[in-house]
């Protein structure tokens, strides 16, 4: 792999054009000297991702400038089409599917796995509308497929046996993620301490909202931080991968860091270890408002190309559940995946269900010691948001 280093001059605004020119030269070199491997590489790439990060520091509205959003930093700004494997005719060996295609705006990568009665497997890979993957349309049949046939005709029986098979689908939304052999290795259940099944497929802006009120206690709060670490250990962190922000709250919300603070896992894990416990009353409404107005903003690293995931972890009900519900409704307008994790018995179910996107985003635990039990399920929600 060839890396392009760019010297970032202190007069950033004056020298952006010079930096872009050097990046263009570097890109031309890579195009001529690129190394061909068995793994397909997206045709839509940034000239230099780290340069894009530096550009955005000097120019927060960088992605609204067509020069960058449609050129130098196209992938960084979320304007690259999703690319998938595409074999619309069934293949018996997944490795035989090497054709790739760019998807339309509202499509995702899909693999259809068909298992015949004689036990052999067939695979179809393609781009598919997200509505189909979500089960909102009847783009194809799920489960057993049958045809109507005449019981007196041997030919019809033979045809019936040939087409009757189990059909399952798998959808994902990162480049070339729908190769059947890769799906086999990324959908297995892993233990909470494993490196995780989503190293390259979790392009999300994730915000942790941790209750550190007096009822939690310092020991339980430490368990919550360890749980955050276990989630971070499951993903890759970076400007084109997962970004993580954190807010702790009791009487007042305290922003630990914003989404664009840490671009490597080592620094992020160290920051989690340094979060302090304060104690106080449970003002959840103020915390949720702070997430929406202070953290999930473009100035603090919120990306239009990444889904927002907010994880609220609390040991009970807020001091003002009406305000909490009102703020949660506002948060749902910018995040389709708000997860509430409640620990203990002093809960307000109406409030917790209102905080979360839906009932599937609510986790009710009895103890902080049980947090690890929901890790695998939680990761599926976070990274398949």
Tens digit of each residue's pLDDT (9 = 90 or more) over 56-68: 767 777 777 888 8
Architecture of domain 83-186: Ribbon (2.10)
Nearest to 340 by CA among 368, 359, 318, 367: 359
Token pair belonging to 119: 């036990």
Please state, for a pLDDT cut of 90, what percent of the chain lies above it: 30
DSSP states along 315-370: SS--S-HHHHHHHHHHHTTT-SEEEEEEESS---HHHHHHHSSSGGGEEEES-GGG
Place of tokens 């233990």: 191
Tokens in use for 247? Answer: 């807010």
pLDDT band at 142 (very low <50, low <70, confident <90, very high): very low
Least confident of 1-10, 79-88, 375-384: 1-10
Q: Where in the chain is the domain with CATH 3.40.50.410?
A: 204-383
At residue 184, the pLDDT reads 40
| Average pLDDT of the residues in 242-266 | 94
| Cα angle: 260, vertex 262, 267; to 5 degrees | 170
* Local confidence band at 334 (pLDDT 50, 70, 90 cut-offs): very high
Angle between helix 12-33 and 49-58 (nearest 10): 170
pLDDT band at 299 (very low <50, low <70, confident <90, very high): very high
d(CA 266, CA 112): 38
| Mean per-residue pLDDT of the chain | 76
CATH class of 204-383: alpha beta
- Integer Cα distance of 146 and 167 in angstroms: 11
What are the helix and strand counts (H, E) for the chain?
A: 12, 13
What confidence score (pLDDT) does residue 12 get?
42
Higher pLDDT, 200 or 213: 213
Domain ranges in the chain with CATH number 2.10.60: 83-186
Has residue 257 got a pLDDT over 90?
yes
Spell out the residues 6+ positions from residue 74 whose beta carbon is closer than 8 angstroms to its own.
Answer: 44, 45, 46, 80
Look at residue 346 in the predicted model and tell me its pLDDT. 63
Angle subtended at Cα 350 by Cα 205 and Cα 317, rounded to the nearest 5 degrees = 75
Task: Enumerate residues 6+ apart whose C-beta is below 8 A from 31.
Answer: none
| pLDDT reading at 195 higher than 80 | no
Determine the pLDDT at residue 341.
Answer: 93
Q: Which residue has the higher pLDDT, 17 or 77?
A: 77
The pLDDT of residue 294 is: 96
At 143 the pLDDT is 39
**CA-wise closest residue to 358 among 381, 324, 326:** 381
When pLDDT is cut at 50, 70 and 90, the band that residue 139 belongs to is very low
Mean pLDDT, to the nearest integer, of 97-120? 83
Query: Quick check: 340 pLDDT over 70?
Result: yes
Contacts of residue 3, defined as CB under 8 A and 6 or more positions apart, other chains included, come to: none
**For 74-92, how does the pLDDT look when each residue is reduced to its tens digit (9 = 90+)?**
877 777 888 889 998 888 8
């Amino acid at each position: 792999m060839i890396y392009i280093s760019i010297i970032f001059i202190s007069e950033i605004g004056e020298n952006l054009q010079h930096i872009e020119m050097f990046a263009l030269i570097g890109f031309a070199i890579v195009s001529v000297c690129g190394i061909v491997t068995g793994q397909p590489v997206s045709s839509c790439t940034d000239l230099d991702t780290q340069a894009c990060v530096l550009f955005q520091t000097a120019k927060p509205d960088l992605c609204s400038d067509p020069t960058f959003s449609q050129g130098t930093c196209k992938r960084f700004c979320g304007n690259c089409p999703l690319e998938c494997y595409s074999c619309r005719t069934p293949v018996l060996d997944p490795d035989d599917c090497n054709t790739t295609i760019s998807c339309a705006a509202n499509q995702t990568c899909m693999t259809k796995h068909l298992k015949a009665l004689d036990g052999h497997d067939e695979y179809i890979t393609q781009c598919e509308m997200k509505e189909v993957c979500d089960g909102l349309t009847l783009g194809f049949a799920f489960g057993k497929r049958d045809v109507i046939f005449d019981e007196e005709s041997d030919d019809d029986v033979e045809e019936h046996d040939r087409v009757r098979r189990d059909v399952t689908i798998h959808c994902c939304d990162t480049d070339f993620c729908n190769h059947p052999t890769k799906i086999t290795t990324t959908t297995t259940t892993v233990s909470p301490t494993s490196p995780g099944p989503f190293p390259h497929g979790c392009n999300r802006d994730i915000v942790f909202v941790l209750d550190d009120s007096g009822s939690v206690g310092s020991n339980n709060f430490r368990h919550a931080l360890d749980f955050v670490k276990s989630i971070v250990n499951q993903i890759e962190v970076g400007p084109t991968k997962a970004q993580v922000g954190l807010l702790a709250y009791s009487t007042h919300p305290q922003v630990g860091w914003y989404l664009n603070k840490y671009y490597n896992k080592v620094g992020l894990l160290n920051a989690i270890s340094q979060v302090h416990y304060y104690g106080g009353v449970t003002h959840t409404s103020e915390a949720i408002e702070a997430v929406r107005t202070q953290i999930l903003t473009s100035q603090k690293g919120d990306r239009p190309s990444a889904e927002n995931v907010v994880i609220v972890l609390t040991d009970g009900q807020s001091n003002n559940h009406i305000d909490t519900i009102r703020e949660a409704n506002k948060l749902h307008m910018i995040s389709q995946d708000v997860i509430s994790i409640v620990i203990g018995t002093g809960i307000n179910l109406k409030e917790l269900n209102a905080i979360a996107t839906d009932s599937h985003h609510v986790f009710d635990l009895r103890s902080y010691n049980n947090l690890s039990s929901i890790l695998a399920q939680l990761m599926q929600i976070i990274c398949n948001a």
